[in-house]
Amino acid sequence: MKKKQDKYSRREFIQKSAKGAAVISASGLITSYSLFSDKDKEIKIPQRTLGKTGLKVSILSFGGGSQFLKNNDGDWEKVLRKAVESGINLFDTAPSYNLAGFNLGEGKASGSEERFGEILPGYRDKIILSTKLESRDPDQVKESVETSLVKMKTDYIDILLIHAIAPPDDVAEIEKGLYKEMVALKESGIVKHIGFSSMDSAERSRDFLEKLDFDVVILAMNPTGYGNYAKVALPAARKKNTGVIAMKVLRDIVGVEATAKELLEYAWTQEGVASAVVGHFGIEPLEENIKLAHEFGKSEPASADPKELESRLASLAGPHALCWARPGYIDGGIIV
State yes or no: pLDDT of 24 exceeds 60. Answer: no
CA atoms within 13 Å, Cβ hemisphere of 187: 12
At 290-303, the pLDDT tens digits run: 999 999 977 766 66
Q: What pLDDT was estimated at residue 332?
A: 58
Length of the chain: 336
Q: Output phi, psi for 223, to 5 deg.
A: -70, 0
Q: What pLDDT was estimated at residue 190?
A: 97
Rounded Cα gap, residues 162 and 282, in angstroms:
28
Query: Which residues lie below 8 Å from residue 35, measured CB to CB, with a gap of 6+?
Result: 122, 123
Contacts for 323-327: CB closer than 8 Å, 24+ residues apart: 323/251, 323/252, 324/199, 324/220, 324/248, 324/251, 324/252, 325/226, 325/227
Question: Residue 264 CB: number of other CB atoms within 10 A?
Answer: 26
CB 197 within 8 A of CB 324: no
Q: Hey, which bits of the chain come out as E strands?
A: 47-49, 56-58, 60-63, 90-92, 128-133, 157-162, 191-198, 216-220, 243-247, 273-279
Rounded Cα gap, residues 239 and 193, in angstroms:
18
State yes or no: pLDDT of 30 exceeds 70. Answer: no
State yes or no: pLDDT of 276 exceeds 60. Answer: yes
State yes or no: pLDDT of 304 exceeds 80. Answer: no
Question: What value does the mean pLDDT of the chain take?
Answer: 87
Of residues 335, 328, 336, the one with CA closest to residue 166:
328
State yes or no: pLDDT of 90 exceeds 90. Answer: yes
Q: What pLDDT was estimated at residue 300?
A: 61
Q: What pLDDT was estimated at residue 20?
A: 56
Residue with more model confidence, 105 or 277: 277
Q: What pLDDT was estimated at residue 327?
A: 85
| Strands 47-49 and 56-58, bridge-based pairing | antiparallel
Listed ranges 106-115, 254-263, 294-303; the one with the highest mean pLDDT: 254-263
CB 45 within 8 A of CB 87: yes
Rounded Cα gap, residues 92 and 247, in angstroms:
11
Mean pLDDT of 195-214: 97
State yes or no: pLDDT of 148 exceeds 90. Answer: yes
At 214-237, the pLDDT tens digits run: 999 999 999 999 999 999 999 999
State yes or no: pLDDT of 118 exceeds 60. Answer: yes
Mean pLDDT of 257-273: 94
Beta-bridge partners for 57: 48
If pLDDT is split at 50, 70 and 90, which confidence band does 2 have?
very low
If pLDDT is split at 50, 70 and 90, which confidence band does 99 have?
confident
At 66-83, the pLDDT tens digits run: 899 999 999 999 999 999
First to last CA, the chain: 60
Query: Which residues lie below 8 Å from residue 167, measured CB to CB, with a gap of 6+?
Result: 200, 201, 203, 204
Peptide bond into 301 cis (omega under 30): yes
Q: What pLDDT was estimated at residue 230?
A: 96
State yes or no: pLDDT of 17 exceeds 90. Answer: no
Rounded Cα gap, residues 267 and 272, in angstroms:
10
Residue with more model confidence, 284 or 1: 284
If pLDDT is split at 50, 70 and 90, which confidence band does 187 have?
very high
Burial 4-31 (b: 16+ CB within 10 A, else e): eeeebebeebbeebeebebbeebbebee
Mean pLDDT of 34-45: 51
Domains of the chain: 22-325 (3.20.20.100)
Question: Residue 90 CB: number of other CB atoms within 10 A?
Answer: 26
The predicted model scores a pTM of: 0.89
What does the DSSP assignment read for 115-145? HHHHHGGGGGGG-EEEEEE----GGGHHHHH
Q: What pLDDT was estimated at residue 31?
A: 31
Of the listed 8, 97, 179, 226, which one is catalytic?
97
Rounded Cα gap, residues 150 and 134, in angstroms:
17
State yes or no: pLDDT of 34 exceeds 90. Answer: no
If pLDDT is split at 50, 70 and 90, which confidence band does 316 have?
very high
Is 97 marked active-site?
A: yes
